[in-house]
Amino acid sequence: MLPGPGRGRHLRRPGPQRRLLGTAYTVNLPAGENLLLYYAVDNARPGDVLAVACDGYEDRAVCGEIMAALARKRGLAGFVVDGAVRDLSLI
């Protein structure tokens, strides 16, 4: 569900054939903050998908290459983020 006008207009996958499958570990972030995302990466189980809600905030990215590397190291399946993500070409 993507509530609100214009939601989903920036949805994209990191590659044409990539799919995510895993248990959702949900995270609700205040606009522009990502401290709880570090907590989630540390506490989610290998194979989990982080479902990150930040109300579509796009003024500052909540994750990027460094966060993705931490998640990969912990064995997480990936992210679904309702907000800005940077370094997409490196993830």
| pLDDT exceeds 90 at position 28 | yes
- Cα gap 61→85, rounded to integer Å: 5
**47-81 per-position pLDDT tens digit:** 999 999 988 888 888 889 999 999 999 999 988 88
pTM: 0.79
Query: Amino acid letter at 79?
Result: F
**2-24 per-position pLDDT tens digit:** 444 445 555 666 566 677 889 99
Backbone torsions φ then ψ of 16, nearest 5 degrees: -65, -30
Backbone torsions φ then ψ of 67, nearest 5 degrees: -65, -40
State the Cα angle at 27 between 23 and 30, rounded to 5°. Answer: 165
Is 64:85 a contact under the CB 8 Å cutoff? yes
